Chain A
Amino acid sequence: MSNQNKPRSHEPIVWLLFAAGGMIAAMLMPALVVITGIGAPVGLIADGSLDHERVIGMLGSPAGKLLVFPLISLLFWHAMHRIFHGLHDLGIQAGLGYYRVLCYGFALLATLLTAGILFLI
């Protein structure tokens, strides 16, 4: 009776994106951070392999794009989902609906940007 009136939450949409991004972050991010943020800048990676042409050849290939797109965009969904819930956890009640649009809107924008740039490469 009373159960049947409960409106369905639309959270599954963002939760699935959050969870997929979480698995990527948990499994891949530490190694990726070591590679892109520490190893490569310090020069631990074989010479020449980070030249513009080589990287474009790698990431610009269909397979490269197929890997990079979910990687980057899902990290955004993962982070923005937690940040939105974090605002609620901080006790923010006023304007939470507005923050929801802002947070997930930002993730969507980043997703479109990623796709757009990959399209250009």
Chain B
Amino acid sequence: MSDGSGQIDILISRYDPERDDQPHTERFTVPYQHDSSVLDALLYIKDRIDGSLSFRWSCRMAICGSCGKMINGVPRLSCKTFLRDYAPGPLHIEALHHFPVIKDLVVEQAGFLDKLPEARPWLIREQEQALADGPHRQSPRQRARFASTSACINCLLCYAACPQYGMKPDFAGPALLALVERYNADSRDQGRAERMPLINAEDGVWSCTLVGNCSAVCPKGVDPAAAINRNKLESAKDYFLRFLKIGSGGAE
């Protein structure tokens, strides 16, 4: 790790749907300082070298979740990754793996977004509580049960780290299943049975082989691998205990 400033070579995977059949690599040299992020480098290139470079970003502070890229083969938030850690380079930047590339570093996120409703990511009540009855109270202990899974920023780094998603885009995937767990673990929620069919499905937890890289790359400590694999036990229980009780999830 070098402390100061200097120049770093950056290789960027470019793809122009109007012209290219597949991506090619372009080399750029950019200056950096101690606090320059990979996103800063991309902005430098777009502003001063090649305005046609396409990529997503917004907050620059690791909270909007839009700036994920493959950085030397590992999915990372480009605003949370610093050039100094890669000096003297070269640093290779690609679009997030496993998603279709629209242009340069911009990917099509439908493979995740279209599945969102399947997670039922809202509080489900058997019976709505009347407003007059006051708020749903929750203790700090109850809150702690979903503190980590509710930290997800939908950056999709975990999908880019998951080979099972890459091979099988129908797989619900890490963040979606972590979201399922986030609501199931919420003491105010009563919708577990409605989410069980997704968990129980082949495209639910059962496409996971516990590679574990989703949790390793998550910038928010969500640990989707744990959320998924804990639910394998739940799904297995549901599989065998459904013969004892009626009303558990899943079409036969």
Q: Flag A60-84 by CB within 8 Å of B: 1 or 0 each.
A: 0000000000000000000000000
- Is there an interface contact between B202 and A7, defined as CB atoms closer than 8 Å? yes
Write out the residue numbers on chain B whose beta carbons fall within 8 Å of the beta carbon of A4. Answer: 197, 251
Known A-B contacts A3-B118, A85-B209, A89-B209; the reply to A9 vs B200 at CB < 8 A is yes
- Interface band, chain B: 20 to 34
Report if A11 contacts B (CB, 8 A).
yes
Contact A9 B204 (CB under 8 A): yes
Verify A7–B250 contact, CB threshold 8 A.
yes
Q: How many residues of A contact B (CB 8 A)?
A: 18
Kindly state whether residue B167 has any CB partner on chain A within 8 Å. Answer: yes
Bound form: Cα–Cα A36–B202 in Å: 39
Please tell me if A15 contacts chain B, counting CB pairs below 8 Å. Answer: yes
A→B interface (CB under 8 Å): 2-13, 15-16, 85, 88-89, 91
B195 located at the interface, meaning its Cβ lies under 8 Å from any Cβ of chain A in the complex: yes
**Nearest residue in A to B168 (C-beta to C-beta)?**
A88
Verify if B243 is at the interface (C-beta below 8 Å from A).
no
Residue B145 at the chain A interface, CB threshold 8 Å: no
The 8 A-B pairs of least Cβ separation, nearest first, read A8-B250, A12-B236, A6-B201, A12-B239, A11-B206, A9-B206, A9-B202, A3-B197
Nearest CB of chain A from residue B179's CB, rounded to whole Å: 13
Within B63-90, the residues touching A (CB, 8 Å) are none
Instruction: Please report the C-alpha to C-alpha distance between residue A6 and residue B232 in the assembled complex, in whole angstroms.
Output: 16
Pair B167/A91 contact, Cβ less than 8 Å: yes
Question: Which of chain B's residues have a CB closer than 8 A to the CB of A5?
Answer: 197, 251
